[in-house]
Structure 1
Amino acid sequence: GQFDRFFQSTVETGINWGIGENPSKTKGSAFPGIDMTIGSNEINKIITKNNGFGSFNLGKVIPEFYMNIKAMEANGDVKVRSTPKLSTLNGHRSSLSIGETTYYVVTNQNYYGSQIPQASEIKNFQPIDAQLAIDLKPLVSGDGQITMEINVIQSSFNNERISPEAPPGINSREFTSIVRVKDQELVVLGGLEEKVKNDSGSGVPFITRVPVLKWFFSQRKREDTKKKLVILIKPTVIY
């Protein structure tokens, strides 16, 4: 069987300002994460209360003005199981493959004619696979011991291309092992772990580099994903 476990943590913070087509009302949620849109009426109340303090006197905003404040953190723990079964003869290999196929374009240009060459363009779609492949070779001895040669390859698309027509990038994980167990004993193979971090943001140019001010004129999103693969194998001798 296959046991895939995903740990994901997402943090999203920032403030968006803008002017809508119609006046905005204050709405949103404050728990467990902050995701609120504050309308012009509430903003003007805050400005009125704070005017008169310090050397700055703030004016009021127009009715269509709005402000969106976001401060959210999400954590996830997802488990995916699959329980395929394979049968094979003693000393013979057996394999299993589960995955997906995508395609990329290969363009060929041919030229015809010697004096006035004419170009002909042909596009071919080439397949590329990402899969979980398991290859087993069991050998049963006279005392009932089972020796297994195990090879596991897992690959997945990472959505990265060096050019729009290039093949998609692939992340691969592989291990090979030889184990000896008794009939119906469980073998646990693990240690294949994949970590992905993504930190992105947007904001007003130059202002986002200024301390303090950047929190009012930018928005950031950070994602941490950890994927752990565990393979469970239970050999059973059938006479």
Structure 2
Amino acid sequence: MKPLASWEESMSFLTATWVKSFKRKLLWSSIALPLLRRSISWRYKPKPTGRPSTRIRFWWPLITSRPDNFTKSRLSKLSIWETHWPPPTWLKPLPCYVRDTPDKIAMAEKVLQSIDKAKPEVLIEVAVIEVDRSFDRTLGLQPPSSTSAAFSTGTTTTTTGTGGTTSTTTTPVNNVTIKNLPKIGSGNFSITIPSSTLDAVYKRTKAKVLQNPSLRAADGKPAKLRIGTKQPVAQGSFQPTFAGNIGGTPVVNFTTIDVGVNLDMTPRVLLNRDISMTIKVAVNAIAGFENFSGIRYPVLTNREIEHDIRLKEGESSVIGGIITDSDSVSVNGVAGVSRIPLLKYLFSTETKNRTEAEIIIVITPHIVRLPEYLEDDYASIALLGAGNSPRFIGRPIQLSGDNPLAGKAAQPGAGQPATTPGGPFGAPAQPQATPANAPRLASVKLTPSSTEVAVGSRVGVSAMIENAQNVYALSFSLAFDPKVLKLVEVQNGGFLSGDGKIIALAPRIENEAGQTVVSITRPPESSGMSGNGVLLNLSFETLAAGTSAISFTQANIRDLNQTTLPASFSSTQVTVK
């Protein structure tokens, strides 16, 4: 009996039904995703008849990425898989929804596993140091600066009380009649002499405030720090009594502003563990108050710094030193005499005032978490291929030398059986005969011009390739000791440009990290190269005595179809004396 539905249609229906039935539980991912992986792991290929394979649906719960970031990526623009189907409303907004062929679903799962990582986090230690110093000194004798003379005559008034008591009161006046002019004498004049003041005052104050908060922020997310108080500020307005009338009842509203140290920063973690930060520091203080219509308004001072800096992990930096320094000297005394040395302290008073205020902000970043990128994450992205319908490529090849191939063995002679590594329990595999015309494995070797060199000289290292078959592109990463060697230059060796074609060579040298990434590709619409030759020439400068290994950390060789070719990679070492 012919089934009503094919196996592919049944699996697609079951997947959608099971996921929807468990949408309100947390078990849907443990049921749907293993089922999809199991269906992908089977030999589920398009039929040779040319009909398009049945498409299945795929839900992936994202960790940090957003679905719109994934749909706007370069992979989506190349139409490698379709993401235009709207996901169910109960899946929004975190999961990513993909519907395509099993091969592309497997590719999408690989890419999502590689790029959907937790964002780096940074712990930033902030030290706010505020130092205030003041010095006051007053020294000298303040003599009287002026005297006054007064003239007065006495007028006697006699008053008799109710009990027969008589009292006499004399009231001074400064006018005199002509009849009393002959009576004026020395008793009618008085002189007022002000008092003198001797000042010897010394005052010195010193204050220090240290604040050491810590901020933890994710990569690319802003973090804010507020140290200080909120100052209320009055704002006046008028509320009209009638519509359209000018004037009305005055209304006073109060708002608050931040007074103190305001720190805003946005950290970004770079690939070499450096931390780039956009920092804005503002220091606000109250300088005084102004009175307007009976309301006191604060006068604020604003000092602001905004810049971008780049620090290593654990490196401290002073991002802003705001210093205020004021001196004032005032002299109060008798004119002329107050300028004579030594004598000036007998006829004048000198007051000195010095105020110093300093605010220093020191930050120290520490990396708390980094994305856990594995070697497979880089390899899966690099080996996707090109075109609108690339095929899914599995795990990358292993490197020889320090990390030899697990299945590498000596080539058997003609007529001798070849063996492969045993299974997981050490059982030997069945022997197989190797044909005489089997292709040989391509090998890339690093060959130094001299294994022993002196400090301060240069040594060349050539990347030699043997048994190459249709090699179109090559990319690899090299690691070396940055304390011993320094990579100066990377040049083309001539193998990939042997037919006169112009190749694209893109080296990225990171001497501080002791590594370099090199990519070399032939021009489009050109065939691959075969045979033996020199791929690249690297020039190192020796820095200090020691032994440095120069090894491959990741490498692959590709043909014109961007298919990885099997190859072995050998390392070398250089001794500096």
Same fold (TM over 0.5): yes
1:227 pairs with 2:357: yes
1:4 pairs with 2:134: no
Superposition deviation, residue 194 in structure 1: 1.8
Q: Provide the C-alpha distance between the structure 1 equivalents of 2:234 and 2:348, rounded to a whole number of angstroms.
A: 38
* Number of residues of Structure 1 aligned to a counterpart in Structure 2: 188
Which residue in the other structure is 2:510 paired with?
none
Superposition deviation, residue 175 in structure 1: 1.3
Residues 189 and 106 (structure 1), Cα distance of their counterparts in 2 relative to 1, 3 Å cut: closer
Residues 222 and 168 (structure 1), Cα distance of their counterparts in 2 relative to 1, 3 Å cut: farther
1:129 pairs with 2:277: no
Residues 173 and 238 (structure 1), Cα distance of their counterparts in 2 relative to 1, 3 Å cut: same
Higher normalized strand content (fraction of residues): 1
Moved more, 126-135 or 214-223: 214-223
Superposition deviation, residue 110 in structure 1: 5.0
**SS at 2:321 equivalent:** strand
Contact 1:157–1:171 under 8 Å retained in 2: yes
Alignment of 1:108-147 (within 5 A): 108-109=237-238, 112=241, 120-147=249-276
Superposition deviation, residue 15 in structure 1: 5.7
- With normalisation by structure 1, the TM-score equals 0.62
1:94 pairs with 2:220: no
Question: How far does the alpha carbon of each residue in 1:199-226 deviate from its partner, in whole angstroms, 9 at most, with x for none?
Answer: 679x8xxxx6744489789866543212
Of the three residues 78, 84, 97, the one matched with 2:207 is 78
Superposition deviation, residue 84 in structure 1: 0.6
Residues 236 and 125 (structure 1), Cα distance of their counterparts in 2 relative to 1, 3 Å cut: same
Superposition deviation, residue 101 in structure 1: 2.3
Q: Provide the C-alpha distance between the structure 1 equivalents of 2:346 and 2:251, rounded to a whole number of angstroms.
A: 52
Superposition deviation, residue 236 in structure 1: 0.7
Contact 1:12–1:72 under 8 Å retained in 2: yes
Residues 173 and 107 (structure 1), Cα distance of their counterparts in 2 relative to 1, 3 Å cut: closer
**SS at 1:137 equivalent:** strand
Paired letter, 1:230: I
Tell me the percent identity: 21
**SS at 2:216 equivalent:** coil
Q: Provide the C-alpha distance between the structure 1 equivalents of 2:285 and 2:251, rounded to a whole number of angstroms.
A: 29
Q: Provide the C-alpha distance between the structure 2 equivalents of 1:209 and 1:231, rounded to a whole number of angstroms.
A: 48
Residues 111 and 93 (structure 1), Cα distance of their counterparts in 2 relative to 1, 3 Å cut: closer
Higher normalized helix content (fraction of residues): 2
Alignment of 1:154-169 (within 5 A): 154-161=283-290, 163=292, 165=295, 167-169=297-299
Q: Provide the C-alpha distance between the structure 1 equivalents of 2:318 and 2:269, rounded to a whole number of angstroms.
A: 19
1:181 pairs with 2:306: no
List runs of 5+ in structure 2 lacking aligned partners. 1-126, 144-193, 339-343, 370-577
Superposition deviation, residue 109 in structure 1: 4.9
Q: Provide the C-alpha distance between the structure 2 equivalents of 1:91 and 1:76, rounded to a whole number of angstroms.
A: 43
Rg larger in structure: 2
Q: Which has the higher contact order (CA 8 A, sep 6+)?
A: 1
Q: Provide the C-alpha distance between the structure 2 equivalents of 1:73 and 1:158, rounded to a whole number of angstroms.
A: 25
Q: Provide the C-alpha distance between the structure 2 equivalents of 1:210 and 1:6, rounded to a whole number of angstroms.
A: 35
**SS at 2:290 equivalent:** coil
Residues 200 and 235 (structure 1), Cα distance of their counterparts in 2 relative to 1, 3 Å cut: same
List runs of 5+ in structure 1 lacking aligned partners. 18-64
Superposition deviation, residue 16 in structure 1: 7.4
Which residue in the other structure is 1:172 paired with?
302
Question: How far does the alpha carbon of each residue in 1:96-122 deviate from its partner, in whole angstroms, 9 at most, with x for none?
Answer: 011222234444455647xxx996443
- With normalisation by structure 2, the TM-score equals 0.28
Paired letter, 2:262: A
